[in-house]
Amino acid sequence: MTSPLRVVIADDQALVRAGFRMILTAEGIDVVAEAVNGLEAVEAVRRTRPDVVLMDIRMPDLDGLEATRRIVADSDADPRVLMLTTFDLDHYVYDALTAGASGFLLKDVTPEHLVAAVRMVRSGDALLAPAITRRLVERFAGRPAAAPVQARDLETLTPREVEVLRLLAEGLSNAELAARLYLSEATVKTHVARILAKLSLRDRVQAVVLAYRSGLVERF
């Protein structure tokens, strides 16, 4: 029997934590700890080794960005971090993604979307809406290119893999990629997996960040 998916909820608002806990436990997802600030979140992850962390960006003592950096840097833990935000135009989006977050959720997310998102990121996918991706590229495409080693890494990709990476950077899902490239979803998944492996990336979010920081994608 598959073990329950384990989640830590980090948010300084008790009502948010209680609401998320109720939704997740009703779907058989185990909330193993709650935290009211980033310091507690880091400690809770070390103690409980969850699969997913729901992390508020703005918290006292230690914010969600720094907490995410510390969690991702801990080689003994490998949870996926979903950032919680009140506004989809949160100016911390870029910093959160580069800190290692696997996606974003609005705090007014529907119960169905919350459960689906937690399961999605645990399976290795990333939750990054096209609107957020588009804004990231528009805002940060002008930044200096990534280190030369990243540019060299891109040369390991086949022409088809480069094409897939560019479309990933637009926020397209596997189904949308398949339709755009006239491929099966299974083939698209294979291409994505190979891209992540060749570039030593953990998930699609990191691929998006690399695509525009390396200069591969400059604008839509």
Q: What long-range pairs does 84-91 form, CB within 8 A, spacing at least 24?
A: 84/11, 84/16, 84/54, 84/55, 84/56, 84/57, 85/56, 85/57, 88/129, 88/131, 88/132, 89/135, 90/57
- Which two three-digit tokens encode residue 20? 């998320």
Highest mean pLDDT among 56-65, 67-76, 140-149, 208-217: 56-65
Q: Is the pTM of this model over 0.85?
A: no
Q: What is the mean pLDDT of residues 209-218?
A: 75
The pLDDT value given to residue 148: 45
Q: What is the mean pLDDT of residues 31-44?
A: 96
> Distance from CA of residue 153 to its chain's centroid?
22
How does residue 36 score in pLDDT terms, banded at 50, 70 and 90?
very high
Residue ranges per structural domain of the chain: 6-127, 145-213
Which DSSP string corresponds to 86-131? S-TT-TTHHHHHHHT--EEEETT--HHHHHHHHHHHHTT--B--HH
Closest CA to 23 of 7, 35, 42: 7
Spatial separation of the C-alpha atoms in residues 28 and 42, rounded to whole Å = 24
Residue type, 193: A
The pLDDT value given to residue 175: 81
Q: Could you tell me if 166 and 211 are in contact, meaning their C-beta atoms sit under 8 angstroms apart? A: yes
pLDDT, greater one: 219 or 106: 106
CATH number for the region 145-213 comes to: 1.10.10.10
Cross-strand partners of 54 = 9, 82
Mean pLDDT of all residues belonging to the chain: 82
Spatial separation of the C-alpha atoms in residues 164 and 25, rounded to whole Å = 37
Convert the pLDDT of each residue in 69-104 to its tens digit.
999 888 676 788 998 887 665 567 777 777 788 888
> Between the CA of residue 132 and those of 39, 49, 88, 110, what are the distances in Å?
27, 29, 7, 18
Contacts of 40 (CB under 8 A, 6+ apart): 10
> Between the CA of residue 5 and those of 28, 78, 102, 128, 132, what are the distances in Å?
8, 13, 16, 21, 27
pLDDT, greater one: 175 or 7: 7
pLDDT, greater one: 31 or 107: 31
Q: Is 211 left (phi over 0), alpha (psi -120 to 50) or beta?
A: alpha
Convert the pLDDT of each residue in 114-165 to its tens digit.
998 898 888 766 666 555 666 665 665 555 544 444 556 788 899 999 999 9
The pLDDT value given to residue 219: 45
Closest CA to 81 of 48, 59, 104: 104
| 6-127: in CATH 3.40.50.2300 | yes
